[in-house]
Amino acid sequence: MVPLVRAERDFRFDQPWVRLGRVLKFWLGQWKQPRYRFAGTLHIFIFTGFLVLAIRAFSVLIVGVSENFVMPGLSGRAGLIYDVITDYAATIVFLCMAIAVIRRLVFKPTRYAVPARYGKDHTADAVFLLSLIAILMMADSLFAAARAAAQSQGGQSVGVLAAFSLPWILRNALVSLPLPALGRLYFGAYLVHEVTFYFLLCYRPFGIQFHVETSLFNIYFAKLDREILKPVRWGVSEEHLDQVKSFGVKTFEDFTWKHMLDFYSCADCGRCSDNCPANAVGRPLSPRFISIKARDYSFQHYPILGHATNGTALVGGKDTSSIYSEDEIWSCTTCGACEQECPLLVEYIDKIVDLRRGMVDDGNVPQSLQKPLKALESRGNPYGKMEKKKADWTAGKEFQQACPVRTLGENSGADTLYFVDSITSYDDRMQAIGRATAKILSHVGESFGILGAAERDSGHEVRRFGEETLFMALRDHNVDAIKASGVRRIVTADPHAYNALKHDYKDVPPVEHISQLIFREVKAGKIKFKPVENDNSTYTYHDPCYLGRHNQIYDDPRDVLDAIPGLKRVEMSRARDRSFCCGGGGLMLFYEPKEEQRMGVKRVQMAAEAGANVIVTACPFCMVNLEDAIKVAGLEGKMTAIDLAELVDQHIVRDGLVAAVC
C-alpha cells in the first residue's frame, strides 16, 4: 500500500454509475473471459464458485467461534438451497483446479511460458496456488461431510448434501467411520481449511492471485476513455506544464496509483502478450512482463519488514534496479491489442507513453529518432522536407486537370478540409493515396481543400513517442491554421491523423475518416461502383489499429468493399479487434528494434493463409509496412496491397449513365 500513497495522482472518481456498470460487465459478467474459450470458461466457473463460497468461508470462520451460527437470511429453505449450491460450487472449483493443474503441468500452454530474459518460470507458483485452493475446497467439503456423517450417525436431523457433490461423495465414504474419528476429522478439516484460508490471504499478495482481491477495484477505476491519452500529469493544466520539473515515469513512484493497482491486479494470464505483435515477432517487449516486473520491483523495494528503497531509475541498463530496457519501451507500436484483451482492463499504452516521456525528458532518445524529431521541430515533418513542397503531390499536370486541389487560406469558404499529413504529402508512393482521396472528395461534390504549406504533422506519433511539448507545438499550429481556414469539417485518409484530430486536438471541427465518408456516400447513392476489375482476386481487409481498435471503425470499410460488385472478400484469422499491427506508423518507421521477424511479414502471411491475394487497408503506414513485407516475404507478384481510397477511386462510376448498368 505504501507505494500507492507515494504514487502520482490519477483522476478516477468520476462517473460512478458508468464505472459500476463496467464492474457488472467486466467483473461480475466476466465479459472478456470467453475470448479464450477454454480458459475463460474455466475462469467463469471458478469465479462463480468463489463468489458463492466467499459467504460460506465467512460462515465457516464464525462456526469456529459459535457452532450454531447461521448466516442471516440463510436459514430455513434459502439456507438449504445455498448449502446445495455451495456444495456444487466447491465441487466445481475443485474440479476446475484439477483441470487447471493438469493444464499447467501436462499441456503447458505457451502463453504461460516465461522467456529466460524475464526470469524464472511461474508454473510452480501457479500450481502451488491452484493446489492450495484445491486443498481449501477439499477441506471445506470434508468439514461438511464429516459433520453430516456425524449427524447421521448421531441420528440428528441431517443437513442436505447435494447429490454427487464432493461433500456428498466424502460423506458416503465417511459414514461408517466411528464418531470420535469423525469428530477429529471434522476438527482437522476445520483447521486445515482455516490455515489454508489464512495462508492464502497472506500469501496471495506475493503471488499471482492478488487479483482475486484487487480486480473489483481495478475494474471500477479502469480508464473510461481509452482512446484519450493520459495527460503528462493529472491536475496540471497545459499552461503550467513548464513548471513541472520532471515529465513522465522515471521511477516506480512516478506511476499513478491506478497504474500501480494494475500491476498488483495482473493475473499473469498472458493474454496481452499472446496478442502483442511486438512479442510475436521477438521484439524485447512483452506487456505481461511490464506488469510482472513492476510488481516484483514493488515487493522488493517496499518489503513488509525493513525500509523501502525507492527512487531508482526504471529504464536503462546502468542502474541494477532498472527493470526495463530502452529497446523494450521503444518496441511498442501502441496498437492496443494488449488492452483489448486484458480481462482486468489493465492499461499499457499510457504506461509506455509515460515511460517514454520520462526518457525523452532525460534526453534518452535513440539516435535514429532524433533526426526526425528535430526535423519535426524545424520543418513540421519527420523527413526534413521543405514546407513549400507539402502540396507537390497535387502538382502533376494530368491530375491537376482532372481534380484541382485548392490550398485553403484564411476564411477560404470551403466546407471541408482534407488533412493530408506528412507521409501522404511527401512519400512518393503514398501521394497516390492523397490523389485518390482528393478525387473521391471531388466526385461526391465536396467543397474541399488542403492546408498545404501551413499544415504540420498531426503529431500523433510524436505524442505517443513521449515528446509532449513538440506535439503541443504542432497541434497548436494546426489548430490555428484549421480555424483560420473556416472549414466546417475535416476529412483524412490517415487513421493516425484521424485519431489525433479526434482525440488529441480540441476545438477543431468534427473529423471523419475517408472510409466513413465513402460508406455514407455509397449508401446515399452518390458513389456507384463498376464490377471489380480483376475478379480472380481474393481481397482481405486489414484493420489499421487506429481506425479499428482505437476508434471502432470496423464495418464501414468492409461494407464499402462488399458494395463493389463481384469483389470476393475473406477475413484473416486475426481481424477486427484482434487485428495484427503492420509494424507501426509515424516515427516507428524510423526506429528498428531488434526483432526476429517483421510484423508486416507475419501479417501478409496471415493474408496468404486466409487465401487472399490483395490486402486492402486504409492507412498509409500500413501500406508502407505491408508493401515492404510483401517483398521481404517473397510474395511479390503473388500478393498486392492497396489502399481503400485507391480501390474505390479505381471502381467509381464517374459517368452517371454507366451507373444504371451496374
Binding site residues, another protein, CB under 8 A: 242, 247, 360-365, 367-371, 373-375, 377-379, 384, 386-388, 467-470, 473, 592, 598, 628, 632
Question: Cβ 468 to another protein, closest distance in Å?
Answer: 8
The per-type count for the chain, helices as H runs and strands as E runs, is: 28, 9
Question: Cβ 71 to another protein, closest distance in Å?
Answer: 59
DSSP string, 103-153: IIIII--GGG---GGG-S-SHHHHHHHHHHHHHHHHHHHHHHHHHHHHHHH
Question: Cβ 337 to another protein, closest distance in Å?
Answer: 24
Question: Cβ 464 to another protein, closest distance in Å?
Answer: 15
Question: Cβ 394 to another protein, closest distance in Å?
Answer: 20
The cell for 43 is: 475462469
Question: Cβ 371 to another protein, closest distance in Å?
Answer: 7
Between 375 and 479, CB nearer to another protein: 375
Between 382 and 544, CB nearer to another protein: 382
Between 143 and 247, CB nearer to another protein: 247
* 215, 208 contact by CB (below 8 A): no
* 654, 636 contact by CB (below 8 A): no
- Beginning with the edge strand found earlier in the chain, give each strand of the sheet holding 640-643 in spatial order: 568-570, 538-541, 614-617, 640-643
Pairing of strands 448-450, 406-407: parallel
Rounded distance between C-alpha atoms, residue 85 and residue 622, angstroms: 52
Question: Cβ 277 to another protein, closest distance in Å?
Answer: 17
- Nearest Cα neighbor of 522 from 554, 567, 570, 564 is 564
Between 237 and 378, CB nearer to another protein: 378
- Region for 418 from its dihedrals, namely left if φ exceeds 0, alpha if ψ lies in -120 to 50, beta otherwise: beta
- What contacts 300, CB < 8 A, 6 or more positions away? none
Between 325 and 364, CB nearer to another protein: 364
- DSSP single-letter state for residue 368: H
Question: Cβ 634 to another protein, closest distance in Å?
Answer: 11
Rounded distance between C-alpha atoms, residue 517 and residue 560, angstroms: 10
Between 387 and 577, CB nearer to another protein: 387
Rounded distance between C-alpha atoms, residue 451 and residue 471, angstroms: 18
- DSSP single-letter state for residue 82: H
Rounded distance between C-alpha atoms, residue 619 and residue 424, angstroms: 10
Please name the residue ranges forming H helices in 111-255: 123-153, 166-174, 179-203, 211-220
Pairing of strands 416-419, 448-450: parallel
Question: Cβ 620 to another protein, closest distance in Å?
Answer: 16
- What contacts 139, CB < 8 A, 6 or more positions away? 189, 190, 192, 193, 196
Between 373 and 545, CB nearer to another protein: 373
Rounded distance between C-alpha atoms, residue 254 and residue 263, angstroms: 14
Question: Cβ 508 to another protein, closest distance in Å?
Answer: 22
For residue 649, count other CB atoms closer than 10 A to its CB.
21
Question: Cβ 290 to another protein, closest distance in Å?
Answer: 23
Question: Cβ 236 to another protein, closest distance in Å?
Answer: 14
Question: Cβ 275 to another protein, closest distance in Å?
Answer: 25
The count of C-alpha atoms lying within 13 angstroms of the C-alpha of 317, restricted to the half-sphere facing its C-beta, is: 3
| Strands annotated E in 347-478 | 406-407, 416-419, 448-450
Between 52 and 474, CB nearer to another protein: 474
Between 264 and 465, CB nearer to another protein: 465
Per 3-state DSSP, the chain is made up of helix, strand and coil in percentages (nearest 5) of: 55, 5, 35
Between 300 and 370, CB nearer to another protein: 370
Question: Cβ 308 to another protein, closest distance in Å?
Answer: 28
Taking the mean position of all CA atoms in its chain, how far away is CA 465? 17
- Inter-axis angle of helices 644-651 and 431-443, to 10 degrees? 50
Between 177 and 472, CB nearer to another protein: 472
- For residue 445, the SS3 value is coil
H/E stretch holding 371 reads: helix 367-379
Between 543 and 628, CB nearer to another protein: 628
Question: Cβ 373 to another protein, closest distance in Å?
Answer: 7
Sign of CA dihedral 264, 265, 269, 272: negative
Rounded distance between C-alpha atoms, residue 476 and residue 279, angstroms: 35
Rounded distance between C-alpha atoms, residue 586 and residue 497, angstroms: 10
Between 365 and 438, CB nearer to another protein: 365
Question: Cβ 475 to another protein, closest distance in Å?
Answer: 13
- What contacts 172, CB < 8 A, 6 or more positions away? none
Between 115 and 396, CB nearer to another protein: 396
Rounded distance between C-alpha atoms, residue 145 and residue 175, angstroms: 9
Between 319 and 535, CB nearer to another protein: 319
Cα distances (Å, whole numbers) of residue 606 to 123, 320, 548, 579: 31, 40, 18, 10
Between 178 and 363, CB nearer to another protein: 363
Question: Cβ 217 to another protein, closest distance in Å?
Answer: 34
Between 67 and 242, CB nearer to another protein: 242
